[in-house]
Structure 1
Amino acid sequence: MTLLKFRKATVADVVPLSELIQRTIRVSNAGDYDQKSIDMLCSIFEPGPLTGRIENEAILLCFAGANLVGTVGLKGDYLRSLFVDPAFQGQGLGKLLTARIEEEARQRAISDLMLHASLTARDFYAALGYEFLEVQSYPEGPFVLMRKQLNVRL
């Protein structure tokens, strides 16, 4: 894999971040969600709403050279918005991003990390130790509530 660089997102990143997330949703989730659900989910990640997230969450970006190829966020005790460019999926980047945000959560003394996984990502998170809690329905479609107990360092 190309040399990767990580850094926190800023408002200046909103357009490329929006493009990455929407592209990933459209490609990766097409097999599990209908077009209406995908369009609704993409609208959540338009630059306007995404700007608020950048200002209120810890959002980590991953670059391969100058290209934004992955992102993950942490809001409270929720892992949020893990997305990896479809061209980089299957190479361990999602696992790496998850490990980095879990470490951020540990540093914040978060003992149980929660997430809402897409149907597409449920097995990915299960392989990383997240346990199934329940399926929840939203206007954008069904999502899977999952949890992982973290070993918090004191």
Structure 2
Amino acid sequence: MKSLKFRKATVADVFPLSGLIQRTIRVSNARDYDRKSIDMLCAIFAPEPLTERIENENILLCFEGANLVGTVGLKGVYLRSLFVDPAFQGQGLGKVLTARIEEEARQRAIPEMMLHSSLTAREFYAALGYEFVELQSYPEGPFVLMRKPLNVHR
């Protein structure tokens, strides 16, 4: 990957961010979720509900040049909404985004990160040190609750 740039999301980013997330869900989660579940997940990341998230969460965007290629969020103790454009997956960007949001959590003295992983991403998070807590069922389908202790900066 060439030079990556990171910045906090603003409401002006809602349409490209929604497009990135919905495209990623449709491509990456297709083998683990049925069409109804994917449609429900995509609806969560439509522009209107995503605008509220941008206003109420810390959402980090990653760009390669002018192209939005990844995103991750932090809400309370939860790592939320890690998505990497399918064309950029497998190149370490998800790991970089996760490390950045974990560092922010450490700076906020959050002792443990939690997340709801898709079935698709469970092994990715496990490789980064996240532990299985439990399988949870939602209308959008099954998700895996995971956690990771953080060494907090004092």
Q: Which TM bucket (shorter chain)? A: over 0.9
Give how far 1:2 is off: 1.7
Query: What residue number does 2:77 align with?
Result: 77
SS at match of 1:134: strand
Unaligned runs of 5+ in 2: none
| Length-normalised TM-score, structure 2 | 1.00
Whole-Å separation in 2 of the counterparts to 1:32 and 1:3 = 32
SS of the aligned residue for 1:104 comes to: helix
Identity, % of aligned pairs?
84
RMSD across aligned C-alpha pairs, in angstroms? 0.3
2-structure distance, mates of 1:3, 1:38: 32
1:99 deviation in Å? 0.0
> Structure 1: how far apart are the matches of 2:111 and 2:56?
21
- Summarize deviations over 1:50-84 as a string: whole Å, max 9, x none: 00000000000000000000000000000000000
**1:17 alignment partner AA:** L
Equivalent position of 2:22 in the other structure:
22
Q: SS where residue 62 of structure 1 aligns? A: strand
**Separation in 2, partners of 1:107, 1:10:** 22
Q: Look up the match of 1:129.
A: 129
SS at 1:90 equivalent: coil
Q: Give the equivalent residue in structure 2 for 1:101.
A: 101
The TM-score, its normalising length taken from structure 1, stands at: 1.00
CA distance, structure 2, for counterparts of residue 89 and residue 52 of structure 1: 27
CA distance in 2, matches of 1:150, 1:116: 17
Runs of 5+ in structure 1 lacking a partner?
Answer: none
